[in-house]
Amino acid sequence: MVGKKRILEIVKNFTRARVLVIGDLMVDHFIWGKVSRISPEAPVPVVEVARESLLLGGSANVMNNILSVGGRVAAAGVIGADDMGRWLLGECRRRKIGMEGIVTERKRPTTIKTRIVAHSQQMVRFDREKMDPIRQDSVRRIVDYLRFGVKEFQAIVVSDYSKGVVSEELLDGIRTAAGRRPPVCVDPKRNDFHIYHGLDVITPNHHEAARAAGLERAVETAGDRKLEPLAIGETILERFGFKAVLITRGEEGMDLFERGSAVHFPAVAKEVYDVTGAGDTVIGLFALAVAAGADFKEAAYIANQAAGIVVGKVGTATVTREELMQAL
């Protein structure tokens, strides 16, 4: 289905492709340590902290995945006027990520997810965030940025983590500004996909897809027989008007549905250590491949290979260009 020469040509074009990522910017804070005893105060493990790290998270992790394989990227979203917001801006500047679409709201904190990891296992996570919708003037600024700069991009990603950035008004603005080009790919978090109607590609996991298709109960009761994924994919295509649906299914790989076409991509991971951020890898590499000239099948093939690499790493990880080339 996908020739080696053609794939190498697409990957070579990564450096000339530019993607805009719109969505919920976050900081992933990791506390790494080890456990050797139980607390005398409560039956909980005591983590001896060895080190801490800050990483780009949420829609910023999508950007990081694009950068790590040689693509160019710009950000649109909202941060707070706080230390984590300033750290995020500094990282964008250092990595040469376009920042003109980032809006600062003074009364809104930058979203931070803190994970405590010991012996390669996540012990607990706590979030600091505000999930209320962003201000109307922030929505207008993001839409205006897109409207005036849309010609600079070969693909757009909408990374929706339900933290308040992606709204119906913002999506209407994206549809109007993008028109027929560039293609818009969305990683959803809503149960109802009507809010994303008419966008080009959607990349839900199998649970999100079943809920959107109204078939979640059928999936739960199917047991070992399992519901035919084709019914879910075709229902979503018809109901919401997407050009393609890429459903990620964990250890069972991915399914790509286009009108009149369904393709299964088997999982390629040798060992799964951590699925944190794997969805960001899929949407990021898929959109970058499309921006580099791939059709949807070729882009799904590349994204599947990248996902197989990233789940073999612990934490919010990315795929390097060298790792991807070796896998391909």
Closest CA to 233 of 265, 266, 255: 255
Note whether 82 and 109 are within 8 A (CB). Answer: yes
Note whether 189 and 162 are within 8 A (CB). Answer: yes
- Tell me which of 24, 160, 200, 280 is the catalytic residue: 280
Is 280 one of the catalytic residues? yes
Looking at the DSSP bridge assignments, the partners of residue 259 are: none
**Local structure of residue 307 (DSSP, 8 states):** H
Torsion angles phi and psi, residue 75, rounded to 5: -115, 145
Closest CA to 174 of 201, 145, 152: 145
Note whether 116 and 33 are within 8 A (CB). Answer: yes
Pairing between β-strand 72-80 and β-strand 155-159 as defined by DSSP bridges: unpaired
Q: Which helix (H) or strand (E) holds 64?
A: helix 59-68
Note whether 285 and 69 are within 8 A (CB). Answer: yes
* Total count of residues recorded for the chain: 328
Closest CA to 118 of 318, 316, 315: 315
Distance between terminal CA atoms of the chain? 13
Catalytic residue ranges: 280
